């Protein structure tokens, strides 16, 4: 069990080693939460993270994980139809979700018929129902939903979810889910979890690879004195933060 506020960091020689370790970590947490709560709430983001989850769809995990107890959410989603190439849902579905026996009703994608603002409100309403029914835990400390595991990537600029450096959304501290219409990374319209929701998590895995991310990793984990904190450096869950880095991303540490 994690110590409150514990930060772990592991650096992997290859993408393969990282994927193996991430699958093991996720499967162990799945066991723990399925036993303790009868459910496992898992938050995905987009990007290369989905490929890093590829070992979960293979033995032994494909057979040993209690997939019917998983509930899948998105830390951020682009406001595009679910079959659009830019959709984080489509990315996750094609690369991961369609390959494991989840219950379709346990996959909480955004309502793609709504505007960005409407979709964010609708997603927050959905989360509030799931907190009431105990599918999603609530943090006694913050009053925000407490997801069992958030699997987050990071952009080269240090963004996490759709919380970008210097953007006012980084400071949102009331809403659970909000929207952005001027994302510096296309597409411009997205919905995103806010920092209080990210930081109420029981476990967060930050999965980061590539030399173009070394500076942002240094900002979060190194001794960068005068640089302003990037969003990734504000990730500080109630529970455990585990960094999964490749050697290139860790090269400035």
Ligand X SMILES: O=C(O)[C@H](O)[C@@H](O)[C@H](O)[C@H](O)COP(=O)(O)O
Half-sphere exposure of residue 153: CA atoms within 13 angstroms, side-chain side: 21
Nearer to ligand X, 34 or 43 (CB): 43
Shortest distance, position 64 Cβ to ligand X, whole Å: 27
User: Nearer Cβ to ligand X, position 118 or 210?
Assistant: 210
Least CB distance from residue 240 to ligand X, whole Å? 20
Give least dist CB 178 to ligand X, A: 14
**CA distance linking residue 66 with residue 63, whole number of Å:** 8
Taking the complex as a whole, the smallest distance from the CB of residue 213 to ligand X amounts, in Å, to 7
Specify the pairing of strand 177-180 against strand 190-193.
Answer: antiparallel
Whichever of 34 and 127 has its CB closer to ligand X, that residue is: 127
User: Residue 143 or 187: which CB sits closer to ligand X?
Assistant: 187
For ligand X, give the closer residue by CB, 154 or 198: 154
Please tell me the chain's helix, strand, coil percentages from 3-state DSSP, rounded to the nearest 5. Answer: 35, 20, 45
Residue nearest to ligand X (CB): 47
Distant-in-sequence, close-in-space partners of 189: CB < 8 Å, separation ≥ 6: 78, 79, 80, 116, 179, 180, 181, 183
Bridge partners (DSSP) of residue 208 are 245
Q: Would the CA dihedral through 184, 185, 186, 189 be positive or negative?
A: negative
Alpha-helix residue ranges (DSSP H) falling in the chain: 15-37, 49-52, 61-64, 88-95, 116-132, 195-199, 214-221
Residues that bind ligand X (CB under 6 A): 45-49, 76, 78, 88, 153-155, 159, 161-162, 185
Q: How far is the CB of 169 from ligand X (least distance, A)?
A: 13
Q: ∠ CA(209), CA(61), CA(150), 5° rounding?
A: 45
Question: Cβ 12 to ligand X, closest distance in Å?
Answer: 15
Task: Between 88 and 200, name the residue whose CB sits nearer to ligand X.
Answer: 88
Distance CA 106, CA 137 (A): 15
Provide the 8-state DSSP code for 202.
S
Report the nearest approach of ligand X to the CB of residue 83 (Å): 16
Nearer to ligand X, 39 or 50 (CB): 50
């Amino acid at each position: 069990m994690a110590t409150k506020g514990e930060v772990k960091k592991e650096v992997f020689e290859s993408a393969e080693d990282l994927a193996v370790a991430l699958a093991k970590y996720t499967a162990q947490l799945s066991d723990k939460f399925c036993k303790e709560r009868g459910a496992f709430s898992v938050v995905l983001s987009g990007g290369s993270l989905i490929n890093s989850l590829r070992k979960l769809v293979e033995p032994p995990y494909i057979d040993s994980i209690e997939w019917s107890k998983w509930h899948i959410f998105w830390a951020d989603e682009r406001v595009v139809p679910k079959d659009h190439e830019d959709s984080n849902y489509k990315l996750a579905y094609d690369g991961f979700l369609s390959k494991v026996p989840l219950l379709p009703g346990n996959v909480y994608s955004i309502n793609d018929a709504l505007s960005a603002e409407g979709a964010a409100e609708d997603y927050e309403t959905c989360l509030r129902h799931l907190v009431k029914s105990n599918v999603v835990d609530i943090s006694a400390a913050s009053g925000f939903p407490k997801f069992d595991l958030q699997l987050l990537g990071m952009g080269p600029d240090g963004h996490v979810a759709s919380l970008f450096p210097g953007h006012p959304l980084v400071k949102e501290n009331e809403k659970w889910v909000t929207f952005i219409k001027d994302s510096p990374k296309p597409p411009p319209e997205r919905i995103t979890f806010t920092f209080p929701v990210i930081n109420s998590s029981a476990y967060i895995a930050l999965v980061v690879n590539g030399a173009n991310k070394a500076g942002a990793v240094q900002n979060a984990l190194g001794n960068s004195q005068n640089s302003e904190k990037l969003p990734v450096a504000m990730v500080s869950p109630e529970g455990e933060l585990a960094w999964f880095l490749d050697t290139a991303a860790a090269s400035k540490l």
